[in-house]
Structure 1
Amino acid sequence: MSTPHKTPPRTGAMLHLRGNALDKGDAVALPLTQSSMFHLPGQPEDFATYGRVDNPTWQHLEYLLSHLEDAPCLAFPSGMGAISAALFATLKAGNRVLIPSDGYYVTRLLAERFLFNLGVTVEQRPTTAFSEGGFDGFDVVFLETPSNPGLDMIDLSAVAQAVRAAGGITIADNTTLTPLGQRPLDLGVDVVVASDTKAMGGHSDLLMGHVASRNAEIMQAVEDWRRISGCIPGPHEAWLLHRGLETLDVRFDRMCSSAQVLAKRLAAHPAVKQIRYPGLETDPSHTLAKAQCIRFGFLLSITLESEDKAEAFINACPLIRPATSFGGVHTSAERRLRWGDAVDPAFIRLSVGCEPVEELWQAIKHALDTI
């Protein structure tokens, strides 16, 4: 029997959230409302007012996202838009924030170049030693697990409890696993952020993100930030993400299952010097991932013999797209050193897509065999 924090959302019910509220003759598919203005005689009351404040398309998207997160949710025009909103809504001058030194590099840039200049003290720790030194004095603790790209993990429940006891709040980036693979809010985290550009949308055709929290005060501050800053999602992108979410369960299941198969085979291939995948029993993150996660995810990393061989492998495999980002239906890969991550020059982040796994493996194996 699943423990509460490992119970996935009811994705079947999600598919019918809109349908069960339709009137006779209404469109089954979500309409796209492309308007900056709304007919508004008299007092505004509870009607749509202006495109920076509300839009029916992204409001229904948020209805689906809230179902997935089991918490109030707000959509943003990118993952970094969501991360920025969560941080700017919870920090002020004189506060201290702790972030992972080996997490997504743009989060570090935001903290170092902007939060620091606004009087926020920024400190960093590696994922594997994140709890060392405790959390006293930190107003916000930003978590990312598995880390991107190293795939190290943090005990979300333990850290959330310790941070709360110290008087701070936690924000967790759950982009790599989605609500179907890991549920930070159920583990005690205060706020979840994610880039829906990745697996949630899944088709590499949009930029979106979201913030979710069960803390009404935090969500009000996030909503105020969005409305005042103008960091709002476009209705067309919201429509695309809504459509992508309808296949998330199927895509995510295929991608995670294929990643598990590929990881075991890649671990045995002589061209692979090192592999990281939380689903492997030999992986340093496996024990925690097994206890904390619903699925092990679709991301893995391999390190080959040299930078040249890594590039040759990525470019030679016809079923791998050499591209940044991840989570799409197409398997993609890149050397993360090119963005400044502290990794081996031959380190490759591999995002497993929806291709038939045996066909994908044969293409990967052939490319590895010939470099």
Structure 2
Amino acid sequence: MEHGDHGTPRMGAFLHLRGNGIDKGDPVALPLVQSSMYHLPGAPDGSNSYGRADNPTWVALEHALEHLEGAPCRVFPSGMGAISAALFATLKAGQRLLIPADGYYVTRLLADRYLRPLGVIVEERPTTGFAEGGFSGIDVVFLETPSNPGLDLIDLAAVAGAVRAAGGITICDNTTMTPLGQRPLDLGIDIVVASDTKAMGGHSDLLLGHVASRDAGLVQAVEDWRRISGAIPGPHEAWLLHRGLETLEVRFDRMCRNAEALAPRLAEHRAVSALRYPGLQGDPAHNLARAQMQRFGFLLSLDLGSEEKAERFINDCPLLRPATSFGGVHSSAERRARWGDAVAPGFVRLSVGCEPVEELWQALRDALDTL
């Protein structure tokens, strides 16, 4: 892999990753291989054998993701598919799992409804103070930083070192930051999981996820889980993500710059009673964000005081899509309390997109001015 400072991938080399390995007459764009069967006379001998185990479009996508992560990757049909693979590949009955109490709620549902009945001991801690109590006797520690939706941070290097010293494995959900904004593996984390449905794909037209690790044994365990469970990605979705990744740096840079410009303006608006963004100097997580993140991200959280005001802001702003995902080229927002998150009724998660920043600010300000 070719990487610059702090392990950040060289995106010029990334854009030519496929082109520098093709022959005369080959297509520059990645072909889509939509096949469940392969011509397989005689012994398999490592050839493509069956659609549940092999697909050239996946392989090309995983090669691209490997360049971004600086580690081997395996692709799954969704972010939760990736999280499930990482957890089922590392846990067994009687072991202890620690997860954030205020992270993505579906991870907690998976742990409570499926891992706990199989004999896994599940414990939860809030993101702030996550390291309090230590990690002795905990087999797998699942982290999410910044937390979704509260945007609190965990010191990845400190936790990774403490968990390793205690004999455990760390898994970090890096969905909100992408490998261009935060590099957990470089900070000592054992496994990274991510929903590529969000900023990695960026166009709100696919569901995919990936697992990355520099531990060959963990990668093999995750790959075995995928092949045996059948939790495989569709080749068309893999092709779409490969195409989306080619604009990731441009999109992510624009989104982060927009968020950095909007955060102080939103914080000063009379209708906003509270705002969280790690890029603000006054944010409780700012110093840690500066230490462990390459960018401050594109997500903001704000409290508009009531459910009615939050819904009106989201629905009346013409440059906001009311949607439950994030990371698209279009800005989107949602009131997270509607899903049962432990947040105020007027809490809004705002995903900043690629719109021209002054046009976006005018639309946001006009919507806020009516509250």
TM value normalised by structure 1: 0.98
Pairing 1:203–2:216 present = no
> Can you list the C-alpha shifts for 1:124-148, whole angstroms capped at 9, x where unaligned?
0000010010000000000000000
1:22 paired residue number: 22
2:139 paired residue number: 139
2:174 paired residue number: 174
Q: Hey, what's the Cα distance between the residues in 1 that align with 2:95 and 2:9? A: 35
Verify the 8 A CA contact 2:193 2:209 in the aligned structure 1: yes
SS in 2 for 1:227: helix
Given residue 144 of structure 2, which amino acid in structure 1 is its aligned partner? Answer: E
Q: Hey, what's the Cα distance between the residues in 1 that align with 2:163 and 2:279? A: 28
Gaps of 5+ in 2: none
2:232 paired residue number: 232
Once the two structures are TM-superposed, the CA of residue 370 in structure 1 deviates from its matched residue by 1.1
Q: Hey, what's the Cα distance between the residues in 2 that align with 1:359 and 1:192? A: 36
Verify the 8 A CA contact 2:305 2:345 in the aligned structure 1: no
Match runs of 1:86-235 below 5 Å: 86-235=86-235
User: How large is the RMSD of aligned CA atoms in angstroms?
Assistant: 1.0
SS in 2 for 1:341: coil
Q: Hey, what's the Cα distance between the residues in 2 that align with 1:215 and 1:5? A: 22
Q: Hey, what's the Cα distance between the residues in 2 that align with 1:151 and 1:15? A: 31
Given residue 320 of structure 1, which amino acid in structure 2 is its aligned partner? Answer: L
Pairing 1:62–2:66 present = no
Given residue 49 of structure 1, which amino acid in structure 2 is its aligned partner? Answer: S
1:47 paired residue number: 47
Given residue 301 of structure 1, which amino acid in structure 2 is its aligned partner? Answer: S
Given residue 21 of structure 1, which amino acid in structure 2 is its aligned partner? Answer: G
Once the two structures are TM-superposed, the CA of residue 7 in structure 1 deviates from its matched residue by 3.9
SS in 2 for 1:86: helix
Given residue 352 of structure 1, which amino acid in structure 2 is its aligned partner? Answer: V
2:324 paired residue number: 324
2:78 paired residue number: 78
SS in 2 for 1:300: strand
Pairing 1:336–2:336 present = yes
Q: Hey, what's the Cα distance between the residues in 2 that align with 1:259 and 1:201? A: 19
Gaps of 5+ in 1: none
2:290 paired residue number: 290
Given residue 254 of structure 2, which amino acid in structure 1 is its aligned partner? Answer: R
Once the two structures are TM-superposed, the CA of residue 4 in structure 1 deviates from its matched residue by 8.2
1:265 paired residue number: 265
Given residue 329 of structure 1, which amino acid in structure 2 is its aligned partner? Answer: V
Given residue 196 of structure 2, which amino acid in structure 1 is its aligned partner? Answer: D
Q: Hey, what's the Cα distance between the residues in 2 that align with 1:70 and 1:310? A: 40
Given residue 14 of structure 1, which amino acid in structure 2 is its aligned partner? Answer: F
SS in 1 for 2:51: coil
1:364 paired residue number: 364
Verify the 8 A CA contact 2:263 2:300 in the aligned structure 1: yes
Q: Hey, what's the Cα distance between the residues in 1 that align with 2:86 and 2:4? A: 26
Verify the 8 A CA contact 1:200 1:244 in the aligned structure 2: yes
Once the two structures are TM-superposed, the CA of residue 280 in structure 1 deviates from its matched residue by 0.2
SS in 2 for 1:20: helix
Verify the 8 A CA contact 1:5 1:186 in the aligned structure 2: no
Verify the 8 A CA contact 2:305 2:347 in the aligned structure 1: no
Given residue 11 of structure 1, which amino acid in structure 2 is its aligned partner? Answer: M
SS in 2 for 1:189: coil
> Can you list the C-alpha shifts for 1:1-29, whole angstroms capped at 9, x where unaligned?
xx988342111111111100010000000
* Greater Cα shift, 9-18 or 164-173: 9-18
Verify the 8 A CA contact 2:161 2:188 in the aligned structure 1: yes
Q: Hey, what's the Cα distance between the residues in 2 that align with 1:69 and 1:118? A: 32
